[in-house]
Amino acid sequence: MDRLEAMRLFLRVAELGSFAAVAQQLGVARSVVTRQVAALETHLGVRLMERSTRHLSLTSAGAAYLEKCRLILHLVDAAETDVAAERATPRGTIRLSLPLSFGLKRLAPLLLEFSRLYPEVGLDMDYSDRRVHLIEEGFDLSIRITRRLAGGDVARRIGSGRMLVVAAPAYLARHGQPQHPSELIHHECLGYTTGGAVPGWQFLVDGKLASFAVRSRIQANNGEVLGEAAAQGLGISLQPDFIVEDLLAAGRLEPILTAFPAPGLGIYAILPSNRHVPHRVRVLMDFLAAGVGAID
């Protein structure tokens, strides 16, 4: 095993915290990975990792070596990619994680067009609203819609979205239209949740962000369901514009509380933190940024 390969292997083991996990990714026996890391330690003359039956941790020398490996491998990958990118057509497979509703409505048409333009790039698309672990699950790219990124995210903002409060004309005729967010507590609201209680809805009131409690008999972790529930007159919903745009255009929903805007959403391309971005992934990010930006 050459020096760079040894560094890459050590980096994988350190990030996954498991010889077995790395062996499974590489399709080799666990003993092969263990021996190669041991050979690297022998070459360096220091112990890089402390092992036990249940735990793997870096020594102080291992932690320092890990940071230098990251820097060296990043520079090597960048140098090779930049040279190749000057003459190469994007090729290879991109595994990407996409949000369900936005992915199907807005991203799928763009990705199919990308596939037509770049026939040597394969796309492995996973549509789900769960937050994936890019490194552990082997994703090259994740597109996520959120108000705030998690600490440590390596991300590029590719677009934005508005949040709208909507209700069916029939619901408003029966229950009246709230004139202030504080009145939502007296209405049936349709809550988006990923488990647990529905969080308060936030609005800008007199230039300041404020949170207002809502009560919710119907809740779900999918905006399409909640948008349709609102269109059927079952309550008031706070949804991204791309979820309810067709229902608004058809007159099944109408916007309310427009004087009190809800905080917008950022649309982000999130990258693994441990590797240089391949040329094909950069090309895809540029394409999506242009496409999503044109829709906004």
Per-residue confidence in pLDDT tens, the chain, 296 aa: 688 888 999 999 998 888 988 998 889 999 999 999 999 999 999 999 998 767 788 999 999 999 999 888 888 877 776 666 656 788 899 999 999 989 998 999 999 999 999 999 999 999 988 888 888 888 999 999 988 877 778 889 999 889 999 999 999 999 999 999 999 999 999 988 876 677 899 999 998 999 999 999 999 988 999 999 999 999 999 999 999 999 999 999 999 999 999 998 999 999 988 667 888 999 999 999 999 875 55
DSSP type of residue 105: I
Burial of 79 (0-12, 13-18, 19+ CB in 10 A): exposed
* Residue pair 118/90 in contact by the 8 Å Cβ criterion: yes
Task: Report the C-alpha gap between 250 and 253 in whole angstroms.
Answer: 8
pLDDT for res 246:
94
Domains of the chain, each with CATH number or no CATH = 3-85 (1.10.10.10), 95-144+270-295 (3.40.190.10), 163-263 (3.40.190.10)
pLDDT for res 296:
52
Which residues are CB-neighbours of 208 under 8 A, at least 6 positions away? none
pLDDT for res 80:
74
